[in-house]
Amino acid sequence: MLLLGHGRSNLARIGLSSISIMSHSRSTLEQLKQFTTVVADTGDFESIRKYAPQDATTNPSLIFKAVQQAEYRPLLDKAIAEKRESSLAGEALHRAIIDDLLIAFGREILTIVPGRVSTEVDARLSFDVDATVKKARYLIALYEKSGIPRERVLIKIASTWEGARAAEICAKEGIHCNLTLLFSLPQAIACADAGVRLISPFVGRIYDYYKTTTGREYSGAEDPGVQSVEKIYTYYKKFGYKTQVMGASFRNIGQIESLAGCDLLTISPDLLEELQNSNKELVRKLDPVEAAGAVVDRISLDEKMFRWMLNEDAMATDKLADGIRKFAADIVKLEGVIRKSL
């Protein structure tokens, strides 16, 4: 039909149509991968294979969910069998099995993704610098014993003041960290000042808080979770921080589209599928050059200022505490599964 017109204007339309068709022939997910590193937020191996992300992240909730499924139960059974005859007992045995299980999932994931896997420190250590560093060293040692170089692993730590200090020590030892449960700029600044490799601001949980407290529905640039990541991204690029920003905890693809251009985005399988099945044209929203030119005041942050600024942010205070409690609860549930199996 396009060939039945006359003159240059019609040829121009043909050319424009061809360009448009080429643009829309790529899925939204493929478009996103052009300027953002896509990370799979799951412990499900088949989902990771399906969407071919660069990296993958896990957390206690995802691992607990995974071991309820028959196909992943052998990983738990193997971790239990290998530790059953050890000299450990009680809680020490349960924790050692969980650590082995986390590493088993991480090893399998690294056979699928070309990049890195994030493995989480027990959330109950979120306010203990020494214990967090000790656990990070232990987890990295388990990976290295399995032949996995530490460059392919990110140790996930909650974005408390103590978490940032632990990550700072780890960074000096070449242990790269992913600071999670991040809801505010002071948390982001503390992490960047500590020299951490990556942070995970939780878009969806911020959105949840404001939707619940205000009764409003948010979308696009009005979404408080999107605004939080934009603010952090701009601050980092403005002042030349090397710490990467990885948006996390998404509720819908609109939030993802609004953060296209962020360093990384970690996305659940259901939203990856939506992006894969969509051919909507994607426009880059976050740009490092534009961010570097923004007018932003630099904040000098010590522990007192960190705690005060966090205290003044009711949402961040609430969601950080809530997130730590929920991750800790899922660790306890996982320990219960292990206790029954033993």
Residues labelled catalytic: 156
25 within a domain of the structure (yes/no):
no
Strand boundaries in 21-139, DSSP class E: 37-41, 55-57, 117-120
19 within a domain of the structure (yes/no):
no
**Directed axis angle between helix 224-238 and helix 185-193, to 10°?**
30
Is pTM beyond 0.95? Reply is no
13 within a domain of the structure (yes/no):
no
Give the three-state DSSP class for 104. Answer: helix
Task: Round to whole Å and give the CA distance between 165 and 125.
Answer: 13
21 within a domain of the structure (yes/no):
no
Domain encompassing residue 69: 37-341
Task: Round to whole Å and give the CA distance between 322 and 318.
Answer: 6
18 within a domain of the structure (yes/no):
no
User: Length of the chain in residues, anyone?
Assistant: 342
Beta carbons within 8 Å of 44's beta carbon, 6+ residues apart: 66, 269
CATH of the domain at 60: 3.20.20.70
79 within a domain of the structure (yes/no):
yes
Give the three-state DSSP class for 200. Answer: strand
Q: Look up tokens 């937020």; give the residue.
A: 41
Phi, psi (5° rounding) for residue 89?
-150, 160
The whole-number mean pLDDT for each consecutive block of 10 residues of the chain, a chain of 342 residues, reads: 37 38 74 97 94 92 88 92 88 92 95 97 97 98 97 98 98 98 98 98 98 96 97 98 98 98 97 96 97 97 98 98 96 91 86
Q: Look up tokens 């993802």; give the residue.
A: 256
15 within a domain of the structure (yes/no):
no
pLDDT of residue 24: 53
32 within a domain of the structure (yes/no):
no
pLDDT of residue 130: 98
Query: Which tokens belong to 300?
Result: 């000098």
What domain count does the chain have? 1
Task: Round to whole Å and give the CA distance between 46 and 147.
Answer: 23
Beta carbons of 159 and 179 less than 8 angstroms apart: yes
